Amino acid sequence: MYNIKLILEYDGTSYHGWQKQPGFLTIQEVIERNLYSLVKEEIKVTAAGRTDAGVHAKGQVINFITSTSIPCFAIKYALNSRLPKDIRVKKAERVPLDFNARKSALSRLYRYIIYNSVFHSPFYRNFTWHIPFPLKIDKMSKACQLLIGRYDFSSFQSQGSPTFSSIREIKKFVLFKKGKFIIAYIKADSFLYKMVRNMMGTLIEVGKGKIPFSEINSILEAKNRRFAGPTTAPPQGLYLVRVNYK
């Protein structure tokens, strides 16, 4: 038996997220279906992150156990010839049998992109959150710094999270403006359900001047979603950029 690790990138616009769900088209379903057509055996894949509907990936990591002797380079090219154009395998390699894309991960890096202009560009409508008014970038950046560390992030967790603990460690959180784009990078050991999108929604309230950046500590201490910004940022601005391992 072999353990195969794949690094994927995909445009999540047309999919109902990563995880298989009856009646919905998902990334996992498409990957497993095409793997079956290639190796002629039922395949169950494990992903580093279960991206939501509409969320994209530049470096999603998955693994699966198989008895196939097809070389990894051939798996990569054969899968890419079968997959739809909005999903691609960037890398394929054999890894130790105890490697697990989710459990072996040390951290995940996400990116969120805002298109900050009066009118939204049709070219970026599926890949950014459109904010048509000016934002106080310096205040938003200061708020990001207050979120770095190991805390209970219950205030940024949406209902439906399957986890037993809401304690996470944010290792990096930077935000800057480049032209019409506001770009944030968030790195943590792992994330709660819609945690990044809820934090970005709160940062917009900071940028509008409705929430002082100094209130971030109070929001964390409240451990209650109602104390954070009311808006959950839309999924199309979010990207899983990289998963880090030993």
Instruction: Supply the residues annotated as catalytic.
Output: 52
Which helix (H) or strand (E) covers residue 141, if one does?
Answer: helix 137-146
Residue 138: what are its φ and ψ, rounded to 5°?
Answer: -65, -40
**Rounded distance between C-alpha atoms, residue 50 and residue 122, angstroms:** 27
Find, among 21, 19, 7, the residue nearest to 80 by Cα. Answer: 7
3-class DSSP state of 92: strand
**Rounded distance between C-alpha atoms, residue 186 and residue 194, angstroms:** 13
Residue at token pair 């880090």:
244
Residue 180: what are its φ and ψ, rounded to 5°?
Answer: -90, 0
Which letter does DSSP use for residue 18 in this model? S
Find, among 56, 47, 43, the residue nearest to 12 by Cα. Answer: 56
Give me 51's structure tokens: 């991206």
**Rounded distance between C-alpha atoms, residue 186 and residue 239, angstroms:** 10
Find, among 108, 143, 132, the residue nearest to 239 by Cα. Answer: 108
3-class DSSP state of 60: strand
**Rounded distance between C-alpha atoms, residue 41 and residue 59, angstroms:** 26
